[in-house]
Structure 1
Amino acid sequence: MNALSKLPSVSHLLTHDRIEGLVQAHGRAVITGLIRDQLAEAREAGRNGAPIPDESSLIEDVSAAAQAQALPRLCPVFNLTGTVLHTNLGRASLPEEAITALVEAARNPCALEYDIEQGGRGDRDDVVEQLLCELTGAEAATVVNNNAAAVFLLLNTLAHKKKVVVSRGELVEIGGAFRVPDIMKRAGAKLVEVGTTNRTHLRDFAGAISPRTGMFMKVHTSNYAIEGFTHAVPEHELATLAHEHELTFAVDLGSGTLTDLERWGLPHEPTPRESIEAGADLVTFSGDKLLGGPQVGMLVGRRDLIAQIKQNPLKRALRVGKLTLASLEAVLRLYRDPDRLSQRLTTLQQLTRPEAEIREAAQRLLPELQSALDAWPVDVEIVPLRSQIGSGSLPVDRLPSAGLAVRPQGRSSGVLNRLEAGLRCLPKPVVGRIEDGALLLDLRCLPPEQEPDFTAQLTQLDLSQTPTR
């Protein structure tokens, strides 16, 4: 107890020169709270027989805690996982045009719901509706905060207390255990499954029609693939049957892209324009996946149906703000110039990056990583890799890539886990993947201009650390 009485008071520590500097940097309330926390820990440790820290140690602990708290939770990382559109890492990286537009919208008042020409209230969808119609061939469009919201709003508006017919093989589950049947139930629609897992025919849809049927829905299975003895009803056939019975035909494309990816040697992915031309009344798709923009869900299609959706009170709850619309508008404008799209759209740059260029990057970075790990029982080498597109897009397709593989020497158990954790502790965390007894760093998503930042921080690699964020 005598030792505990020697602990400095909160007010005394607040007068220390270094603490005053921390107060200037982080605020008095924050630092006062951290001092109280450190003193409480010291008293508890002392009662349990542990040594009592001196004043200098207390101040060091307060400083370290303040620095740790000041680190942003939403921090940038190096994505070396090999998954381009990584859901846990924010999916698509925005192009510079979108970043500039986003910053300008954040800094200034802007005409979000103001009609400049008429001088009165406007509609925030006007920011992007004309572009969406031009790029998809739709009559009208609206935007909500993600594609799940778009599907929910569509169903709740047009199929509430009605039956929606869907092929059994298209009842997908997306990330976070969200399932199409669950969304339908919450939206107030009654799901009617037809066909089998691998084969569904037009007669299955025809046989499911009843007086309570309100919609046919086709869900693009973008996050898995069924191969072999399969059959799916073409969209134009479903549209014809639906319209013969005065039913709505909706298509959920999920991932969504506005251009034919085959132009750049990538696998084909259905586009909204293809669905509209096949007769779909409404199409929903995402903005932050193959499209390469911000997180949004877009609905395009018939003008009268879009008008009904916009009148749903839930539309306001699901709407997007000016920052999202500003960046989305900038991305959509890039699609008007398809000849330069692969040079300007970040996602497309990453997806089409040549394997040879990635291997050259690995050759540049190999000696840097070897030097940083020189004292550790590991070997580092350049290896061929197969990147994946990610976020449920084209799940069976892989992109030839290259990277660095770190393998333990002998029976150095645990070294890979320590290294993986140490890389995540760097100022800009490095996220790779452990696979087949090696730590793999796929370099597809590391552009040449970011290589100096990557290598500069390798000198700070401490394999005894664990992440504090």
Structure 2
Amino acid sequence: MKEILKQIPKTDKLLNAKALSGYNPNFLKPLIQRFLKNYRESLLKGGEVLSFESCVEQISKEYWHLSQKSLKPLINATGVIIHTNLGRSVFSKELLQEIFPTLIAYNNLEYNQQTGKRGERYAHLKKFLTSVDFEDILIVNNNAAAVFLIFNTFAKNKEVLVSRGELIEIGGSFRIPRVMEDSGAILKEIGTTNKTYLQDYQEAINENTAMLFKAHKSNYEIVGFHEEVAYEDLIKLARDRGVVDYYDLGSGYFEIKGLETLKNFEPSLQEIAALKPSLISFSGDKLLGGTQAGIILGKKQYIAKLKQNQLLRMLRVDKFTLCALEALFCAYLKGEYEKIPTARMLLQTKEALETKAKNLLAKIPAYFSPKILPTKGYVGGGAMPNRALDSYGVALKPKNTTKNIQSLEELLRQEGIVARIENECLILDVMALFESDFEAIKNALLKIK
């Protein structure tokens, strides 16, 4: 065994191997050491003795693998516009080009050019509040952080009243009761799962009550024998009793022409602003169509208190998020919805989607027996749960029976195209597809034919 172990090459010899000469030694050395450790263990267990060239080749392959980016673009043919697993809302090239000069330079993130003194990073977004009539704004890294910060600031060791029908859990086991507990707030459930009345809130308020909380039912819907309290009534009750009202919207959106039907299911920011709430929060990368962020809007006195919480230092956002949101808000104010892919997709008419499906059909090899079918897409991201959107898709059925639908879905997925299986067909739903995706879909299908 000693003779075998003597054949293990030295670290320095591998570092100086000609085939590894262009590699960064700071990363190469620990990789070599890890390889040699595993190689030694393999030999002690009777593993194969490798030549020096084979050792170098394995190290080179591992280095190459580690240097490859794992985040990569995918094509969304699922019909879900705000797909959490696929990165939610998509950035537009136009908005990225707008913020690029600021991101590659020093900037006035926290610098007031008029006074020459330190400024506030959130001030850059305040000017946009005139369009929604909120007093102040605060941005944290996501809406879960917003919820936690608000509970911790206003309800630590105090009660928060919430309807049993709104004790939500969303993706990643994010549960309102657990968030309250971790923030220091005391959960006080009222009403029942399917029915909660204003009287339930009125009777539950006591000297230790800090907040009346309403949570958007992001991923489910209660139907049938159901009653819940309008946010307008909660605001009035909170004001009368001297406590904070807070609405976790999940998604928030600006009213724009063509999206009037959304108002039947999701309140707009303009509608909520008219109620003069204490605080609301929502995600920046859902219906709004921007980057991941927790956007908190409300009265100046409450936002000011949130800014004093030491947790904000841990939850604050950087210049990229603020630049991206500023560009997004500018696009909304100017009515440049074509720069916001999420808004653009939501504004698609049924006729436009059918035309899109015809254009995709023209790219699909006849081998897959493609045909256009009416389908149902979804907003996604917790917005409008169980409310389908009319869409169209191109259905594929491979002629080769050895390639079943499941294997076709897997092969396309390996090519970066995420589709869905429905009624024994592979469906390429055009709802969330870009016209620029069509050529890639064609090439992928030709490759796996």
Pick the TM interval, shorter chain.
0.7 to 0.9
Cα distance change of structure 1 residues 144 and 14 upon mapping to structure 2, 3 Å threshold: closer
1:155 aligns with 2:151: yes
Cα distance change of structure 1 residues 37 and 454 upon mapping to structure 2, 3 Å threshold: farther
Distance 1:243 1:69 in 2: 57
2:346 corresponds in structure 1 to: 351
1:374-413 aligned within 5 A: 374=367, 379-407=369-397, 412=402
1:142 aligns with 2:138: yes
* C-alpha displacement of 1:95: 2.9
1:304 aligns with 2:301: yes
2:68 corresponds in structure 1 to: 71
Give the residue type in structure 2 aligned to 1:399: L
| Secondary structure, aligned partner of 1:108 | coil
* C-alpha displacement of 1:358: 3.5
1:450 aligns with 2:437: yes
Match 2:100 to one of 96, 103, 107:
103
* C-alpha displacement of 1:126: 0.6
What per-residue deviation string (whole Å, max 9, x for no partner) do you get for residues 367-413 of structure 1?
64436xx5xxx65433322111111011121122222333355864x
Give the residue type in structure 1 aligned to 2:66: Q
Match 2:86 to one of 65, 69, 89:
89
Distance 1:56 1:283 in 2: 63
1:206 corresponds in structure 2 to: 202
Match 2:77 to one of 77, 80, 91:
80
Distance 2:423 2:394 in 1: 14
* C-alpha displacement of 1:446: 2.1
Cα distance change of structure 1 residues 49 and 306 upon mapping to structure 2, 3 Å threshold: closer
Give the residue type in structure 2 aligned to 1:197: T
1:424 aligns with 2:410: no
1:228 aligns with 2:218: no
1:172 corresponds in structure 2 to: 168
Distance 2:427 2:221 in 1: 26
For the Cα contact (< 8 Å) 1:202–1:233, is it kept in 2? yes
Distance 2:276 2:217 in 1: 19
What per-residue deviation string (whole Å, max 9, x for no partner) do you get for residues 330-380 of structure 1?
101112123x42x23210111222344344444444464436xx5xxx654
Give the residue type in structure 2 aligned to 1:353: Q
Distance 1:335 1:351 in 2: 14
Distance 2:167 2:257 in 1: 25
| Secondary structure, aligned partner of 1:164 | strand
* C-alpha displacement of 1:136: 2.3
Cα distance change of structure 1 residues 399 and 179 upon mapping to structure 2, 3 Å threshold: same
* C-alpha displacement of 1:459: 4.6
* C-alpha displacement of 1:285: 1.2
Distance 2:64 2:362 in 1: 32
For the Cα contact (< 8 Å) 1:295–1:324, is it kept in 2? yes
For the Cα contact (< 8 Å) 1:169–1:199, is it kept in 2? yes
| Secondary structure, aligned partner of 2:182 | helix
For the Cα contact (< 8 Å) 2:365–2:446, is it kept in 1? no
Distance 2:4 2:395 in 1: 52
% identical equivalent positions = 35
Q: How many corresponding residue pairs?
A: 447
* Cα RMSD for the two superposed structures: 3.3
Give the residue type in structure 2 aligned to 1:400: D
Cα distance change of structure 1 residues 6 and 425 upon mapping to structure 2, 3 Å threshold: farther
Cα distance change of structure 1 residues 177 and 331 upon mapping to structure 2, 3 Å threshold: same
* C-alpha displacement of 1:170: 1.4
* C-alpha displacement of 1:418: 3.3
1:122 corresponds in structure 2 to: 119
For the Cα contact (< 8 Å) 1:386–1:399, is it kept in 2? yes
Distance 2:116 2:164 in 1: 51
Give the residue type in structure 2 aligned to 1:137: D
| Secondary structure, aligned partner of 1:295 | coil
1:329 aligns with 2:318: no
1:163-312 aligned within 5 A: 163-259=159-255, 263=259, 265-266=261-262, 268=264, 269-312=266-309
Give the residue type in structure 1 aligned to 2:119: G
Cα distance change of structure 1 residues 5 and 456 upon mapping to structure 2, 3 Å threshold: farther
Distance 1:329 1:222 in 2: 26
For the Cα contact (< 8 Å) 1:240–1:279, is it kept in 2? no
Distance 2:230 2:311 in 1: 32
| Secondary structure, aligned partner of 2:396 | strand
Cα distance change of structure 1 residues 201 and 456 upon mapping to structure 2, 3 Å threshold: same
| Secondary structure, aligned partner of 2:101 | helix
* C-alpha displacement of 1:167: 1.5
| Secondary structure, aligned partner of 2:219 | coil
Distance 1:253 1:101 in 2: 29
Give the residue type in structure 2 aligned to 1:96: K
Give the residue type in structure 1 aligned to 2:430: L
Distance 2:445 2:8 in 1: 39
What per-residue deviation string (whole Å, max 9, x for no partner) do you get for residues 277-299 of structure 1?
22311111111000011111111
Distance 2:29 2:313 in 1: 42
Distance 2:183 2:42 in 1: 55
* C-alpha displacement of 1:66: 4.5
For the Cα contact (< 8 Å) 1:92–1:347, is it kept in 2? yes
Distance 1:264 1:70 in 2: 47
Cα distance change of structure 1 residues 421 and 48 upon mapping to structure 2, 3 Å threshold: farther
Give the residue type in structure 1 aligned to 2:407: R
**TM norm structure 1:** 0.83
For the Cα contact (< 8 Å) 1:256–1:272, is it kept in 2? yes
